[in-house]
Structures are given as structure tokens and as C-alpha cells.
Amino acid sequence: MDLFPLINSLRIALISTFIIFFLGIFAAYYIAKAPRVLKGVLDVILTLPLVLPPTVVGYLLLRVLGPKRVIGKWFLTMFGIKLTMMWWSAIFATTVVIFPLMYRTARGAFEAFDKTLAYSAQTIGLSNTYIFWRIRMPYCKQGIMAGTVLAFARALGEYGATSMIAGYTPGRTATISTTVYQLWRTNDDALAFRWVLVNMAISFVVLLAVNMLEKKEGKEQKGAA
């Protein structure tokens, strides 16, 4: 069994989760502070990829990143890098699709943050950067970790947008999900089933991790009260 799809899926999921970890947290942090109307509008826009069909996301991405489209063309002429149909193309797809998961869980965690902690920290002279990393983030740790793991799991299972923007090239752009589809289409049922098992095992472990994080959070909150 060629393990390329597993490695490719993992690297795509890891890279997009890493990007989304910071992007989601900072979006959540700054949008929580924004005026109400702006907050409402941005919230809808940023959550949209969660409810759109992945094929729509894929279509929109191709519209901007395709070799003849604005951004895709610019990258191709400037750096000679093709943004579509390469293994890294899938990162664009997964990043857009998992962004709302991270953004929403981080925002939920930040909204539960006790503001007086930040205020008292400011009055005793702690910098806002210190407060963010040493007080706010540890306070919201569980929620943010759960969001990260969930985003990773979703990235690992992304199919629709990925297949549109990265296609399926064995040994180059194949991921677990696109491989399963391809094997089933070509009647290689036994191998398809093995990949299904691999996928299910990973998802199982990830969801178990999310559950354990949530349980731990509940316990700690009870201890604090």
C-alpha cells in the first residue's frame, strides 16, 4: 500500500491547521472588539465557508487562484509558482473550509473570558502582549485546543474543494479522501476499504481527544467554582 495519500493528507492538514490557529485566534480577538454592525457583517462572511458546499468554495478558489485568474496569474509570472493542481493547492481549500471552525470556537472561548482579569493586569502594569499570551490564552486554552483539533480533523477529511483545486494525481496530489473516491471508481474495493479504515481510525482518535479536552474543561470549571 502506497502511503503517499496519508503523508500528503497529514502535511496538508498540519500546515492549514497551523495557519488557521493564528488566523482564527487573531480574527476572533479583534472582531470581538469591533463595533456591533461591523462585527455582525464580518461574522457572517467569516462563517460562510462552514455552510457553503465545498464545491462552491472550490469554484471560488479556482476563480481567483487559477493560472489565468488575477492572483494565480500574478504568482505564476512573478515566482513561476502554480497555485492549482499541486499538492499545496489543497492547503488553500482546507484553510478556507476549516477557518470558521477555529474562528468560532476561539471567539466562544474569548467571550467567556473574565474581562476584569485583563483590567487588573493592565492596572498593575502588565503589557497587552503579556496579558494576551500569559493570561487570556491560558484561560481559554481548552476551548482553543478543542477548536484546533476539530479544525485538524476537518482538514484531514476535506474532499470537495480539494478535488477541485488540487485534483487527483497519484503520488502528487492524492489525499486519503480523493484516493478513496478514485479507488472506488476504479473498482479497487479492497484497497478503498483499507483507506476508509485508516481515515476512520484517525478521526476516532481526534474526536476522542476533543471529548477528553471538553471533559477536562468541565472538571476544571467545577473545581474553580
Partner 1 sequence: MALKIDIEKKFGTFRLQIKLNTEDEVLGLVGNSGCGKSLTLKCIAGIEKPDRGRIVLNGITLFDSEKHINLSPQKRRTGLLFQNYALFPNMTVRQNIRAGTLRDQQNEKERENKVDAIMDSFGLSSLASHYPRQLSGGQQQRTALARILVSEPQILMLDEPFSALDSELKFRMEKEVRDVIQRFGKTTILVSHDRGEAYRLCDRIAIVQDGKADEILLKEEWLLKSNSVIITTDSIPQNVILVSKEP
Residues found near partner 1 in the complex (CB under 8 A): 114, 116-117, 119-127, 130, 134-135, 138-139, 223-224
Q: For the CB of residue 122, give the shortest distance to partner 1 in the complex, in Å.
A: 4
Is 80 or 223 the residue whose CB approaches partner 1 more closely?
A: 223
**Listed residue (221, 84, 225, 73) closest to 162, CA to CA:** 84
**Residue 190: C-alpha distances to residues 8, 49, 59, 187 (Å):** 21, 34, 32, 9
Q: For the CB of residue 139, give the shortest distance to partner 1 in the complex, in Å.
A: 7
**Listed residue (154, 199, 174, 1) closest to 87, CA to CA:** 174
The single-letter code of the amino acid at 209 is A
C-alpha Rg value of the chain to the nearest Å: 20
Kindly state the cell numbers that stand for 87.
499538492
Q: For the CB of residue 144, give the shortest distance to partner 1 in the complex, in Å.
A: 13
Q: For the CB of residue 29, give the shortest distance to partner 1 in the complex, in Å.
A: 18
Q: For the CB of residue 36, give the shortest distance to partner 1 in the complex, in Å.
A: 14
Helix, strand and coil percent figures for the chain, each rounded to 5: 80, 0, 20
**Listed residue (68, 96, 76, 83) closest to 166, CA to CA:** 83
Is 111 or 189 the residue whose CB approaches partner 1 more closely?
A: 111
Between CA 108 and CA 164 the distance in angstroms is 32
Is 74 or 133 the residue whose CB approaches partner 1 more closely?
A: 133
Is 86 or 137 the residue whose CB approaches partner 1 more closely?
A: 137
Is 114 or 189 the residue whose CB approaches partner 1 more closely?
A: 114
